[in-house]
Amino acid sequence: MTHVIIKDQLMGTGKSSKMIEEINQDDPDQRYIVVTPFLAECHRYAGTIVDEATGDYQKPKLDEKGEVIYTGEGCSASGRKFKHPQSGYYNKVQHIERLVEQGEDIVTTHTALKLFTPETKEAIKNAGYKLVIDEELECLKPVRIKKVRRNMLLNSGSVYLDENGLLRWSDDDKYAPNEDETDDLNTGLSWEMQIKNMCDNGSLVLVEDDTGERNIFMWEYPIEFIKSFDEIIVLTYMFEGSLFAKYLEFYKIPYHIERGIQIPSNPFDLINVIDNEKMNKVGTTEWALSATKQRSLKKESAVSKDIRRNLTNYFNNNTYGKTPMEEKLWTSLLESKKMFQGKGYTKRHIPWNTKAVNTYRGCSKLAYVYNPSMMPEQYKYLFNRGEDYAPSHNRHSLSEMLQWIYRSRVRQNEPITLYVPSSRMRGFLEDWMKGEFSL
């Protein structure tokens, strides 16, 4: 049976570094597949560097003989030579399968892991790999394809529902996938081939939308792929109540949690949350500044004007101290950026769901202008399985916000100032800082 270990520890406390050390100390004959959210982290694990001349993060730099340069850092410190799957003569997924058959250590991104084939699964099972997931595995997500493409697949009979409610690709080839047209997800596959792979893997489900019509494609990670590994190690934070926890529980995959640091020893010294009634007035209702609310705003609406005024005051006036541009950081729903941007902070916007990057670790003044919640399609799908399999909206929202906050210098135990106008999110954060947040 697959053994799942959850290493649950606060961001910035060295989970990845400890994992690299653990890999280096393991039996050299034990094979690993490491998946991370970003290509830069792939290089960190492998101990490789990017060829700056090409700017291609997928490909490690080569020496004069055409061999990969290993720096002696990361997992290469023990002599391991992790391979980066490449697009080229093989697409990335086929290259992974080839590397597995060769018994290589592999490092890749979560995106490529989604498109493993049944053949890759069998090769992994036979080789006895361990899987390391740096940051929680995305196990459930709506598949966003154009409505015309979705209807074309359904109406042409190219896909059909099997007896288990899974979408499968028809053998009749009514709509042949184009193998040459590449996508923008670094998989080397066209959108048609991605859908076909999901159907072949048993990972595509047809679910209901808000009207009760079954016309939403939902991707779910195939549980048989999880079972193909001897051991899985997940590096994450606030695992309990997450989508991945509910996924494992539904499929009765037991897991063991190893807890590390959960909150800093001095949270109120590290995180100075702005307590200004006038500035926080825009977020007093429970769902103020949610995705739905932000999408309904106009640039000249009272709320948009108030937010611009508040951000300008916060980032530029002396009330909260002068701050260099490179130390500022803010977020909102991406569609709202143009409505909320202003002089002195516009270019310091990053997505609200940014995770697993250290690029902003010098930032000291932050503004979190969002009120996140779980995707309704995800929640409805899980809730329909039973109430016990529906994650906590509150815990999910807090986890998303903390991941964003911990891109800043707080991860280095250095103080920050934080503006959170949503009363809902500010309350969650303050409860967490008091050590009172529960499932």
What confidence score (pLDDT) does residue 211 get? 63
pLDDT of residue 386: 87
pLDDT tens digits, 48-98: 999 887 777 778 999 999 999 999 999 999 999 999 988 765 677 788 888
What's the whole-number mean pLDDT along residues 220-242?
Answer: 91
Checking if the pLDDT of 348 tops 70, the result is yes
Q: How far apart are CA 153 and CA 145, in angstroms?
A: 11
48 beta partners = 70
Residue showing tokens 């792939």: 42
Strands 214-220 and 204-208: antiparallel
User: How confident is the model at residue 31, as a pLDDT?
Assistant: 95
What pLDDT, in 10s, does the model give residues 14-61?
Answer: 999 999 999 999 999 999 999 998 888 999 999 999 988 777 777 899
Dist. CA 290–CA 328, nearest whole Å: 22
Least confident of 123-132, 185-194, 414-423: 185-194
| Side-chain-side CA neighbours of residue 18 (13 Å) | 13
Tell which wins on pLDDT, 229 or 147.
Answer: 229
Structure tokens that stand for 411 in this block: 């991860």
pLDDT in tens, 379-402: 888 888 888 888 888 999 999 999
Q: How many CB atoms lie within 10 A of CB 413?
A: 13
Domain(s) labelled CATH 3.40.50 in the chain stretch across: 3-139+224-259, 267-433
Predicted local distance difference test score (pLDDT) of residue 191: 81
The structure's pTM equals 0.88
Whether residue 180 is predicted with pLDDT greater than 50 in this model: the reply is no
Q: What is the pLDDT of residues 95-136, one digit of tens each?
A: 888 899 899 999 998 877 776 788 888 888 888 899 999 988
User: Residue 57 corresponds to which tokens in the numbers above?
Assistant: 């993060």
Question: Whole-angstrom Cα distance, residue 270 to residue 288?
Answer: 26
Q: Please tell me the predicted confidence (pLDDT) of residue 184.
A: 39
Class of domain 3-139+224-259: alpha beta
The dihedrals phi and psi of 320, each to the nearest 5 degrees, come to: -110, 20
Neighbouring C-beta atoms of residue 77, cutoff 10 Å: 15
Out of 85-89, 320-324, 420-424, which region has the weakest mean confidence (pLDDT)?
Answer: 85-89
Concatenated DSSP letters of 247-299: HHHHTT--EEEEE---S-S-HHHHEEE---HHHHGGG-STTTTSHHHHHT--T
pLDDT of residue 338: 95
Q: What is the mean pLDDT of residues 154-159?
A: 86
Q: Is the pLDDT of residue 277 over 80?
A: yes
User: What phi-psi label fits residue 130: left (phi over 0), alpha (psi between -120 and 50 degrees) or beta?
Assistant: beta
Q: Does domain 267-433 have CATH number 3.40.50?
A: yes
